[in-house]
Amino acid sequence: MSTANTSNTPKTQHSDTSYLQMDLLRFTTAGSVDDGKSTLIGRLLYDSKSIFQDQMDAIESSSKLRGEEGVNLALLTDGLRAEREQGITIDVAYRYFATPKRKFIIADTPGHTQYTRNMVTGASTADLAIILVDARKGVLTQSRRHAFISSLLQIPHLVVAVNKMDLVDYDQDRYNEIVDDFRKFAAKLEVDDITYIPMSALNGDNIVNKSEKMSWYDGTTLLHHLENVKVGSRRNQIDFRFPVQFVIRPNQDFRGYAGTIASGTIRKGDEVMVLPSRLLTQVKSITTYDGDLDEANAGDAVTISLNDEIDISRGDMIVRSQNIPKIGQLAEAYVCWMNEAPMEIDKNYLIQHTTRITQVRAEKINYKINIDTLHREDAEVLQLNEIGRLRLNIAQPIFYDAYNTNNATGSFIVIDPATNVTVGAGMLRTITTSDRLDQESVAPQAKPKVTPNVVWEPWNVPREVREKRYGHKARVLWLTGISGAGKSTIARKLEQKLWDAGKQTVLLDGDQVRHGLNGDLGFSDSDRQENIRRVAHAARLFLEHGNIVICTFVSPFAADREMAKEIIGADDFSEILIHCDRDTAINRDPKGLYAKAKSGEIKGLTGYDAPYEAPENPDLSIDTTAVSEEEAIGMILDGFELS
């Protein structure tokens, strides 16, 4: 062991500033039990001259006490006493080292099945994952599980380290067999870059130096690959997301909001929006411990002050006004269950997403994933270490992006409220509240459905002929707004006025439609979307028969209203926002819905405990706190030349 450093400063430490400018690679090691993960890391540290002399002395002593003939390099990372006694890794051990080309942070994660949760922790920030496979045992379930989790976590690079080649006499055929087996499995993963390396961590073959015993292998060594693999920051540098952690009030003259920038960049003077209030303001200052900044980036811990006094608290989020995340209480996610007690449908848990903690329950397990085959299987519960795709119902709106675009705001943990133990980790995938771009698991599609083998029949009497007889143009007026804003009242009086004037009218009201045509639908996001889809097609039929069709629906999601506009036709569709402030709507409460929401009888009431996405550019906007019903009707008649 004379090659170890004789001082307490590893040779890879540099005194010049170029060392500080080297890029950093975070990688994790994972695999099944006794695949040699800790030995591999010990060999990397030892052969790259990154071990302190006192560390070498300590592991030499420990190896002797254990009765081992040589030095057990695995003890460099097996830091817990329980680990050293059992010869296994049961916690995530982080180690740092550097070479002249790059700095590294290693997460050595457990191989035992019951510690899969630790692997998720270690891999969550990794740029690369090393999946170890014992050459004697081949690809095992735990190896597949860790590879699949790495794929879910969007780790861009995988290295399949076929270890312990010395125990199979460095046999090339055995290596090729394992590579073929893993490639068949990996074909189903979302990973583009996979490198295969045969090695012996115990003897140092292909770790730092090329192995003479495997001359048939013409690829790279592990260290060379780690030094040269292209790594970009996993942080989203585009979408500014600032979850508020603390409100800072050192004196009467300063109010700031402290936290860590999850993604993106912010500058002094930028216009921002505060969620959930959606109020707009500008950044007044960006403060750190070392002083004020003109600009701050993802990962920076800062305190932001704003030009306006806005009610902001922990769990709120500051974003750019023209780039907001998804906002909602219903979402779908992959969840890795980490607790011996199974995850139950409709049981209340806590979700921690960025700085917000609120209640959550799983409405449905869409499927769980068979780790060996990656096939989807039905499930009523998720057991320890099982991974499933769930539909979540969250008590308060969260502000999030899909994990594959922003892992900072697309990830969360699940907590048992009784024990305060983390029982699950999740990655948000399909967004079902406001993002209709990804239709992977939203049942109704935004595009009109066409039943196969049905021939379209043209209109018997063309609309133009009907319009000529009726003496007016046909049109769809879509009134949207929260309950209590005045939609139904205005719609009924508007229709009566048009009817009295001899116009052909049809009124489609949300409550009436749900008592018949859509009586089979509930109020989940997918049911709301299907409700609007059916109504839009009904409105289209009445439109083609020459009617002025008045639709009055909450229709809280912008994407659903856009779908209705596409079905009906942009030239014939007019979006009218009927609005008032939230307190006024609650005080009016014409149907008693807000009272029921307050008492807990109903949940997910739009405008109370569920979001409403107001139109950004409606054809007409009417504030019912500022105008009378008659004035509102006059605005519609004049605005669309109906009188």
Q: What is the 3-state secondary structure (H, E, C) of 95-143?
A: EEEECCCCEEEEEECCCCHHHHHHHHHHHCCCCEEEEEEECCCCCCHHH
Confidence of residue 490 (pLDDT cuts 50, 70, 90): very high
**Residue 18 three-state SS:** helix
AA letter at 541: L
Q: Are the beta carbons of 415 and 352 closer than 8 angstroms?
A: yes
User: Does residue 3 or residue 364 have the better pLDDT?
Assistant: 364
**Predicted pLDDT of residue 477:** 96
pLDDT at position 19, please? 47
pTM of the predicted structure, to 2 decimals: 0.57
Lowest mean pLDDT of 91-105, 307-321, 384-398, 486-500, name the range. Answer: 91-105
Mean pLDDT, residues 138-162:
87
pLDDT > 70? residue 11: no
Query: Which option is the CATH number for 326-431: 3.40.50.720, 3.90.1150.10, 2.40.30.10, 2.102.10.10?
Result: 2.40.30.10
Percent of the chain residues topping a pLDDT of 70 = 81
Q: How confident is residue 121, by pLDDT bands cut at 50, 70 and 90?
A: low
Task: Give the mean pLDDT of the chain.
Answer: 82
Share above pLDDT 90 across residues of the chain, in percent, rounded to a whole number:
41
Helices of type H across 307-419: none
- DSSP-assigned letter for residue 263: B
Q: Has residue 286 got a pLDDT over 50?
A: yes
Do 297 and 261 contact (CB within 8 A), yes or no?
yes
Residue type, 114: Q
Least confident of 150-159, 387-396, 571-580: 150-159
User: CATH 3.40.50.300 occupies which residues in the chain?
Assistant: 18-228, 463-639
Amino acid at 434: S
Q: What is the pLDDT of residue 84?
A: 39
Give the model's pLDDT for residue 624: 93
Per-residue pLDDT, averaged over 587-595, amounts to 87
| CATH architecture of residue range(s) 241-320 | Beta Barrel (2.40)
The CATH number that domain 18-228 falls under is 3.40.50.300
CATH number assigned to the domain with residue range 463-639, chosen from the 4 options 3.40.47.10, 3.30.565.10, 3.40.50.300, 3.40.50.720: 3.40.50.300
pLDDT digit string (tens) for 192-215? 789 999 999 888 899 988 999 999
Of 533 and 610, the structure prediction assigns the larger pLDDT to: 533
Which residue intervals of the chain bear CATH 2.40.30.10?
241-320, 326-431
In whole angstroms, what is the distance from residue 401 CA to residue 410 CA? 5
Which secondary-structure segment (H or E) carries 349? strand 349-353
Q: What is the pLDDT of residues 298-308, one digit of tens each?
A: 989 999 999 99
